[in-house]
Amino acid sequence: MFARSLIIRSLYAACLAGATMNHVRSILAQGWLPEHLPWPTAAYWSSLTLLDPLAAFLLFLRPRIGIAGTMAIIASNVVHNLWFVSAHRDTRGFLDAVVNDPFLLSQIAFLVFVGLTARLASPVADRPRAAAHDDRP
């Protein structure tokens, strides 16, 4: 039987692998640091090509570090992408731009999922709890 934490970490890793493929596809199409993007944005998005698979690997090799890395990556990615949409949207309003962006919505959903399940993703969560003993009469 698979442990709950392993299943959750496997879901995280699958999402990170999908994100890695998107970053690789983008780099192949536009280059490592696309000139049409602000340098910090291009560097950040390109760095995720390495950071996403590293976090996925660490989810199994060093789960606590992998979980923390996954949370840091997705939280910073959502914050950055919300800023980017706000600063570079077209004539649509911010909320309209966000709700009509399936990639951003999937990132927000993954952030919520990781936030809600991070404690359960730790292998410690699979260990049986010791029964509480109350020695009082």
Burial of 13 (0-12, 13-18, 19+ CB in 10 A): buried
pLDDT at 124: 78
* pLDDT band per the 50, 70, 90 thresholds, residue 132: very low
Share of the chain above pLDDT 70, in %: 89
pLDDT at 90: 75
> Which pair of tokens denotes residue 1?
């039987």
Arithmetic mean of pLDDT over the chain? 90
Whether the full predicted model's pTM is greater than 0.75, yes or no, is yes
- Torsion-angle region of residue 130: left (phi > 0), alpha (psi -120 to 50) or beta? beta
Assign 3-class secondary structure to 103-114.
HHHHHHHHHHHH
Hey, where are the domains in the chain?
4-125
